[in-house]
Structure 1
Amino acid sequence: MTKQQPLIQVKNLHLYFGSFHALKNVSVDFNAGELIGLVGDNGAGKTTLIRVLCGIHAPTKGQVFFDGKKVERFHPKLAIDQGIETIQQSVGLCDNLSIARNFYLGREPVKRVFGIPFLDLGKMRAKSSRIIRQFGLRENVSADDEVEMLSGGERQSIKIGRAVEFKNRVVIMDEPTNHLSVREREHVNELAVQLKEQGLLVIYITHDIFQVHKLADRIVIMENGEKVADANTDSMSAEALEDVIRQGGRMVEKREAV
């Protein structure tokens, strides 16, 4: 059986901020069509690792490959162009703009009238309306409504729908269910699984190992800037993985053989 080429491959990654060693020899593969839980306490290095993948930080040492090609330059715009979308709880939408405007934020379609460019508001309304229905917004919500009227779960639905519509290949969900109700949390988690089933790579960052264990194919645990575990969820229980975190990562890497 031929092994799948990772969509994202991180090899021996180190990152220093001055004398602070933020990432320490991190190597991990991320595959398309996979939902991976990235777990660890505050300061474990999981967000720093994601910021490298998103082009915010350039590694001090080591390599990152995207779809088999070495990443030579790290910049957020380049990561977006590759199809990497980050969904965070608190940022990413403008409250005073409509759902349609938010849906196309930074990607606004234009039409020309007598050679003068105007926003194509009709296209923005039509396409965003279709997507917001598909991803579970209420029937009485219009694409012209301002985002500030939406619940936390509905805001996440817009971000997820936007990621799918613009043909992203990687969706990074950074603590996506913080401050959501139980029903909204379940909805967002269902959407994460849908993205995986559509062939996207979903990286789900959370402190809640029990929640993500139900969703993920694999769990990667970070501790003090190091990867300390990489386990398939069908071979290691949430309780066992939680013990790894409690023990400060003192565990030999355990991953099911392919």
Structure 2
Amino acid sequence: MDAPPDMRPPAHPLAAPAARAAALLAACAALAGCETAPRAGGLTRAQVLDVVKDRHDVRDGHPELYAALRAGVTRRELEQGRLFEGECGLPDAAQALGMRWLTVTVLAPAGLRLASGSAVDVRGLRAAWPAVGGGTAPRWHGVYAGSASAQGEATASALAPRPGAPCLAPDAPPGQWRVKLRGPAPAWAFDFAQAGLRRLDALRDSDLAAGRVLRLGCQLKVLDGGDWYAPVWVATAPEALRLRAGDVVRLRAGAEAGSKDPGPPAEVLERLDGVAAPGGHALVRCG
């Protein structure tokens, strides 16, 4: 049965997981058999999903917007439809088809209409954080430097192994990329990205390098009939506690990943040695 219209999550393909969670929890209020997510400060069991070594690997909120927010892009500029998402590829023999595809956001000048699918030149490129190990960050932001000529777009299409564009256009000045635009970033994503950026900025580089930063989750029954919701947190483990994917811990819940809540952070308290993870795609039950 479809949820009433006011309970539907945003239709945009980048809709935050928290939007679906809100819709399910709202529907839950009218039905029996629901479990509620642990509130910030409450205790729950949780299962380690990943050990995080690089902030770029955490999909918390809307990471495609992190670099733009770091560069000072405002919610108003998203509301004006000036921030576009796109992609381009750098040669990388280790990747499929020999290209590593990067997400790039582009801020267009006020009053300029950019078309989805067009190729533009971008300068002033920056990432939200340096890549670990001196590699190339997966997501970037830059300033519009002009539209590619029709000849330039044709050349990019001919060189690209998929609908996109090589970042390094022929005869481009240093520090300038050519980007194929996908479309404008939705303004509602700004608040989710802003909160996610703050949560990840709060992590310490030393904890990331030592493998103490974890992504954890547990499983809740939300609707009768088998619909489940799995809240996820990013938390730091105590220095003396070495954990790996699949371990079950006692967690002090904090701001959920993918939410608009910037804090407080979740906190790992201890490993629960007597509790086994269920295996497969299932997670340990919250509580």
TM-score by length of 1: 0.28
Rg larger in structure: 2
Query: Which structure has the highest helix share of the two?
Result: 1
